[in-house]
Structure 1
Amino acid sequence: MVAVTGADPLPTAEDVAWLPVEDTSAVGSARRAVTGLAERLAFPPDRAAEVALVVTELATNLAKHADQGVLLLRALRTGDTAQVEVAAVDRGPGMVDPELAFRDGHSTTGTLGIGLGAVTRLSDHCAVRSSVGRGTILTARFDPRPRRDRPAPVEEIATGVTRPIDGEEICGDAYAIREHGDKLHLMLCDGSGHGPLAASASQAAVRTFLDGDLTTPEDMVRRLHVGMNGTRGGAVAVAELDPAAALVRFAGVGNIVGTVVAERKRGMVSLPGIAGYQARSIRRFDYELPEDAVVVLHSDGLNERWTADPLDRWRASPLVMALDLLREAGVRRDDASVVVARAGGR
């Protein structure tokens, strides 16, 4: 979950479904799933059909060319408008020239080559990152309104992704983001255990974080500790990005990993404990925040030994960066979550 307050709010984001695409039999299921999501979000039939066409093409490409391909379906809400966002992630061979692959008529398999071109034509915003030998990540966003009524895309400054453990439909991790003036506040919670009870703990953290005025990270963690009383508890962390002061202020209880990535990767300190149950020491730590830095928070569903290379990873959109980290480091059998924010803001 994302919630951002400010003069130009970003949407709330719901990770609706992770759909493995291992062969062509999964294409129809992906098309039906995104059609159902678009209908639930009140998309007009013709626009829902366009979204379904794009997902069909993406799923077909994953089935034909990718290794460990997966589709993520997301619902984005701002005010009274909802959008569909789709991400295709794989560990396939990658593309030497992603821009060429999106031109109509280009094909590597002897087909007409119209599939990926449809993504750019029919979506309101798309992004792609592909590396030979590492795979491809593609994201696309769809607005239901007529094209003449759609606002210009807002630059993405922060977002997150959650993925439940295999066998669960509900992720026990949750996050929220708030914007106040030039500052950006990130919160990530890993509810203890898995399933609905873990999700209940993390959602209590989200409600507490969003309720009331913003405070310092250490005071916010204290509020989260109290707000999670009566739940299973969990690990929590709060980061405040302050570009004017060139600082990120961080406080955490438990094993949420916080990192500042600039010329190198620098970890931030989270103290032992379980928010909502036992938190003997809550402290804030300050770190330098270069203008071009990226701040990452993630749960222990990711291995923290990911690297800061390649450098072009950190020039992508926050969603692509989050998915790239999840693909590389989300190897543990656990709920997983990642939040990524740019230091420079809008």
Structure 2
Amino acid sequence: MTATTCLPLVRDEAWLPVEEAAQVGRVRRAATALAERLGFSPTRTAEIGLAATEISTNLYKHARQGVVVVRSLRGLRDAAVEIVAVDRGPGIGDLALAWEDGQSTTGTLGVGLGAVARLATSCSMTSRLDVGTALVARFELLRDREPEWGQESAAGITRPINGEDVCGDAYAVCRRADRLTLMMCDGSGHGPLAAAASDAAVRLFRDLPPLPPDQVVARLHAELRGTRGGAVAVADIDLVDRTVRYCGLGNIAAAVLADGRKQGMISVPGVAGHQARTIRAYDYQLPDKAVVVMHSDGLTERWGADQVSDLVLDPPVLIATTLLRDAGVRNDDACVLVARPA
């Protein structure tokens, strides 16, 4: 049997707005505190603090409605700090030029993004003029060591409802040589009890052997009894046959994006752990260069393929972050999971 590898557990530790100069220091402190908790050396922690300062200063000076997300990644061997920045600013017309030292639109030295790229293990950015920019920078324990999980073909992002510190939505991704399997759970309600249900779904999913999506959802339904329960969905992507088998229970939305079109995938009514009259999987074609998107109801379903069609070559985390910025609603927990199968 082909070995199954679960991608690192990702936790969005803090969503921090950057609209005032004083908020730059808050981002730096959050990033360095996380690095210390993960066991980074003082030197590496200081490098992460410098990068966090550069990223958030850039948001404060150039952007509107800028936000930084400080994230932890934990694998079996490695840990990483990831910083995601997103804004509704003027956008950047020449991304290659923006990475060069000396480029600035405010009369400063303009060394920020170049310094971030040198300090990070990996760094990517996407931007649309008059819409905004999104950036992700990952920092491994050792800058030059290849991480155990390599380059992800799927990634997600979560955001708690206003007033809560934890998000009740969660996701996980496992891969084999010929398959990529995505799972999302939207815990019922908000706060710690919703998060406990979705965390239980993540643990079970990561421990299960390879099973068809409807069997995985049935197992999740059984195991979530005694918790708040929630909506759950599993998408099993066959990388050889280029198909997706999808099973959703409750209000998880999913779609295949390809050739400028958005094909929705079907979820049936129910609440995992409480009510499931029918658990059924559906099959969909996966064209070349297609992207698979899953999201909780913290996003409106009224977004179109045109909002993502020019992002399909970007890292999945930037696609997810941009979609959350453009379609997210703040009166609910939100989760977006994106797969870009190669």
TM (norm. structure 2) is 0.95
Residue of structure 2 aligned with 1:237, choices 233, 238, 242: 233
Match in the other structure for 2:22: 25
Q: Does 1:319 align with 2:317?
A: yes
Q: Distance in 2 between matches of 1:116 and 1:216?
A: 44
Q: Distance in 2 between matches of 1:322 and 1:246?
A: 22
Residue of structure 1 aligned with 2:208, choices 194, 207, 212: 212
Cα pair distance change 1:9/1:276, threshold 3 Å = closer
- Are 1:243 and 1:291, in contact at CA under 8 Å, matched by a contact in 2? no
Residue aligned with 2:268, SS: coil
Cα pair distance change 1:286/1:214, threshold 3 Å = same
- Are 2:247 and 2:267, in contact at CA under 8 Å, matched by a contact in 1? yes
Match in the other structure for 2:327: 329
Q: Distance in 1 between matches of 2:41 and 2:274?
A: 47
- Are 2:121 and 2:137, in contact at CA under 8 Å, matched by a contact in 1? yes
- Are 1:23 and 1:64, in contact at CA under 8 Å, matched by a contact in 2? no
Residue aligned with 2:312, SS: helix
5+ residue gaps, structure 2, are: none
Q: Does 1:195 align with 2:196?
A: no
* Identity within the alignment, %: 56
Match in the other structure for 1:105: 102
Q: Distance in 2 between matches of 1:8 and 1:43?
A: 25
Residue of structure 1 aligned with 2:337, choices 331, 336, 339: 339
Q: Compare 15-24 and 302-311 and name the one that shifted more.
A: 302-311
- Are 1:66 and 1:91, in contact at CA under 8 Å, matched by a contact in 2? yes
Deviation at 1:204, TM superposition (A): 1.9
Match in the other structure for 2:247: 251
Residue aligned with 2:303, SS: coil
Match in the other structure for 1:135: 132
5+ residue gaps, structure 1, are: none
Q: Compare 26-35 and 203-212 and name the one that shifted more.
A: 203-212
Q: Distance in 2 between matches of 1:23 and 1:151?
A: 35
User: How do residues 7-26 of structure 1 correspond to structure 2 at under 5 angstroms?
Assistant: 10-26=7-23
- Are 2:7 and 2:149, in contact at CA under 8 Å, matched by a contact in 1? no
Matching residue's letter, 1:127: S
Deviation at 1:9, TM superposition (A): 5.7
Residue aligned with 1:337, SS: strand
Q: Cα deviations across residues 29-76 of structure 1 (Å, max 9, x unaligned)? A: 111111111111111111111111111011111111211100011111
Deviation at 1:155, TM superposition (A): 2.2
Match in the other structure for 1:124: 121
- Are 2:67 and 2:87, in contact at CA under 8 Å, matched by a contact in 1? yes
Residue aligned with 1:230, SS: coil
Q: Does 1:115 align with 2:115?
A: no
> Number of residues paired by the alignment?
339
Deviation at 1:220, TM superposition (A): 0.9
Residue of structure 1 aligned with 2:60, choices 43, 58, 63: 63
Q: Does 1:180 align with 2:176?
A: yes
Q: Distance in 2 between matches of 1:123 and 1:274?
A: 41
Residue aligned with 1:34, SS: helix
Cα pair distance change 1:150/1:212, threshold 3 Å = closer
Q: Distance in 2 between matches of 1:285 and 1:7?
A: 23
Matching residue's letter, 1:260: V
- Are 2:99 and 2:113, in contact at CA under 8 Å, matched by a contact in 1? yes
Matching residue's letter, 2:86: V
Residue aligned with 2:326, SS: helix
Deviation at 1:21, TM superposition (A): 0.8
Q: Distance in 1 between matches of 2:199 and 2:326?
A: 27
Residue aligned with 1:277, SS: coil
- Are 1:163 and 1:336, in contact at CA under 8 Å, matched by a contact in 2? yes
Deviation at 1:152, TM superposition (A): 9.4
Deviation at 1:331, TM superposition (A): 2.0
Residue aligned with 2:298, SS: coil
Q: Does 1:80 align with 2:77?
A: yes
Cα pair distance change 1:249/1:305, threshold 3 Å = same
Match in the other structure for 2:157: 161
Q: Does 1:283 align with 2:280?
A: yes
